[in-house]
Amino acid sequence: MSDTTEAIEQVTSLSDYINKVGKLHLTQERKLKQLNSEKQMNIYYRGQNQNFPNTLPSLIRNENYLKNEDKLINDFITKYPELFGNCQNNFDRLALMQHHQLPTRLLDLTSNPLVALYFAVERSDGNTNKNTDLIDGKIFPFTNFYDQVPLYQSLANDHFENIFSEFTSIKGNNRQFLKSPFSDEIEIESSLARLNGDDRNLVLNEVNDFYKTLNSVDAKPQTYWSNLYADIVNSSENPRDQNNLLETYEFFNKMSSTKRLYHEIKKDIGDFEAKINPLELFVPKIVTPRIIDQRIKNQRGLFMFVPFVDNNGFREDGSSVLLDSNEIQKRTQTRINILRLLSSPENSSPENQQPVTFVIPYEKKESIRAELESMGITESFIYPDPSHIAHEILKYY
- What pLDDT digit, counting tens, does each position of 372-388 carry? 999 999 888 887 777 66
User: Per the domain annotation, does 201 fall within a domain?
Assistant: no
Which three-class secondary structure state does DSSP give residue 394?
helix
- As for how many domains the chain has, the answer is 1
User: Does residue 256 belong to any structural domain of this protein?
Assistant: no
Q: Is residue 130 in some structural domain?
A: yes
Which pLDDT score, from 0 to 100, does residue 4 have?
45
Q: Which pLDDT score, from 0 to 100, does residue 364 have?
A: 96
pLDDT at 78 over 90: yes
Say if CB 310 and CB 328 are below 8 A apart.
no
Measure CA of the first residue to CA of the last residue in the chain; give whole Å: 43
- Tell me the backbone φ, ψ of residue 51, rounded to 5 degrees: -85, 65
When pLDDT is averaged across residues 284-313 and rounded to a whole number, the result is 85
Predicted confidence band at 50 (pLDDT cuts at 50, 70, 90)? confident
Q: Which residues pair with 304 in a beta bridge?
A: 107, 286
The verdict on residue 214 lying in a domain is no
Domain that holds residue 304: 3-195+284-394
Q: Is residue 345 part of a domain?
A: yes
Using CA atoms, how far apart are residues 135 and 138, in angstroms rounded to an integer? 10
Q: Is 77 within 8 Å of 93 (Cβ atoms)?
A: yes
Supply the pLDDT for residue 294.
67
For residue 368, is it within any domain? yes
**Residue 376: CB partners within 8 Å, gap ≥ 6?**
none
- φ and ψ at residue 356, rounded to 5 degrees: -80, 135
Q: Which of 189, 203, 48 is nearest to 105 (CA)?
A: 189
- Strand ranges (DSSP E) for 35-192? 43-48, 106-110, 137-143, 178-179
7 within a domain of the structure (yes/no): yes
CA distance 261 to 207: 13
Residues 6+ apart with CB under 8 A from 119: 46, 47, 48, 49, 110, 137, 382
φ and ψ of 10, to 5 deg: -75, 135
**Could you tell me the pTM of the whole model?**
0.89
Q: Would you say residue 47 lies in a domain?
A: yes
